[in-house]
Copies of this chain bind each other. A is one copy, B any other.
Amino acid sequence: MALIVQKYGGTSVADLERLRNVARRVIQTRQRGHDVVVVVSAMAGHTDRLLELAREAAERPSEREVDVILATGEQITAGLLAIILQDMGFKARSYLGHQVRILTDSLFGRARIKTVDSWRLIKDLREGIIPVVAGFQGVDEEGNITTLGRGGSDTTAVALAVALRADLCEIYTDVDGVYTTDPNVCEKARKLDRISYEEMLEMASLGAKVLQIRSVEFAAKYKVPIHVRSSFSDQEGTIVCEEVEDMEKAVVSGVTYDRNQSRIELVRIPDRPGVAARLFEALSDASIPVDMIIQTSSAEGPYANLAFTVSKADFPRALEITKGIARELGASDVLCEEDVAKVSVVGLGMKSQPGVAFKMFKTLANEGINIKMISTSEIKISCVIDPKYTELAVRALHNAFGLDREQD
């Protein structure tokens, strides 16, 4: 008998009929002899509607109050699922963040979980009650309601799995697993049976959008396996777990892309310590996350060029800040492109395998795609390109790295 935490996302709980399907799946798991703790998201679209309401109330609504409003979405789903489970003859009880209690810091809208009390849930499980926990929300030391950011219910589920020492964390979503790339862009995309936490982190942060990054970090830290699967079928999904010997031996596990990027470049800034820090401090103060950063020294003297990418939504603010800093530093120019795309290849295998970067650049060159920026890490290589080539680049790379074929 295992203890399983099951998380159901927004489309899986979009209406009462789907909630009944969720209930049947939970009951099925119980009937196989397992203990289940359920985590639910808000019904699809609900959070967006609430957010819109808050933004109609004021242009910049207080983050504390927005969290109070948004937290109601998961509250309703949790209550409804408990009612449905009871109606199907099972004991069930809903829990809100402050009832579990899921303690977070006070960063409203993007709070991080600090601790999770598990005793009430354990007590319920002993008494045969199915706990249904509202995802996405917690409470800070002062008793304020906090939310964990988009996809935060994933993190709630993993955090509960950690606290309960669960055997498995199942994330039910509207896709049936993690793919080698976006099936909408490349029809040869193939579902992965397994993927390591590290690869998943690179996939997620690069736009695979299957799991909240933080949930994967959490799972990796505490070694909780995550099973990402569809709530609309009984098919196995993808297991996200530690790198294991028999894991697919691919050099590259996936190709990802992100079309919502903008690029900014400072031309001819003094090449001395503290210059980059000055800029990225200012961007960080404005809560603008920076993705790729590249600095190149100039051959002509003690000067450098500094280029970076930000998400398109942050572009206007980032450009304004950068222009200010550019004047301060005496840069000769600020260049920018509002629309660029990033394509990346990700794979644990490339750690030990040389030539992946070369193969990537060559593949793009063969298609006549110019590379505007390159950034590499141990397990991923990213290139910034003209967005109109995104699909072509993804398909070419997917093909070049043999991702359409089952690996040995």
Where the two chains meet, the residues of A that have a C-beta atom closer than 8 Å to any C-beta of B are 16, 19, 50, 53-54, 56-59, 61-62, 64-66, 68-69, 71-72, 75-76, 78-80, 82-84, 86-87, 93-94, 96, 98-99, 143-145
Contact = CB atoms under 8 A, between A and B. Distances in A.
What secondary structure prevails in chain A residues at the interface with B? helix
Contacts of A56: 16
Contacts of A76: 50, 53, 69, 72
A87 B58 contact: yes
17 contacts: A16-B53, A16-B57, A54-B80, A54-B83, A57-B83, A58-B87, A61-B83, A65-B79, A65-B82, A65-B83, A68-B75, A69-B80, A71-B75, A72-B76, A75-B75, A98-B143, A99-B144
A62 B64 CA distance: 31
Given A54-B79, A57-B83, A75-B71, A99 B143 contact: yes
A248 B66 CA distance: 48
A261 to B, nearest CB: 32
Contacts of A54: 79-80, 83
B72 A58 contact: no
A52 B98 CA distance: 26
Contacts of A61: 83, 86-87
Given A16-B53, A72-B76, A99-B143, 5 more contacts: A16-B56, A53-B76, A57-B80, A61-B83, A68-B78
Contacts of A19: 57
Contacts of A80: 53-54, 57, 65, 69
B75 A69 contact: yes
Given A58-B86, A87-B59, A94 B68 contact: yes
A135 to B, nearest CB: 14
Contact of A86 (B62, B69, B84, B145): B62
B68 A79 contact: yes
Nearest to A75: B72
A118 to B, nearest CB: 15
Contacts of A96: 68, 145
A64 B93 CA distance: 9
Contact of A82 (B50, B59, B62, B145): B62
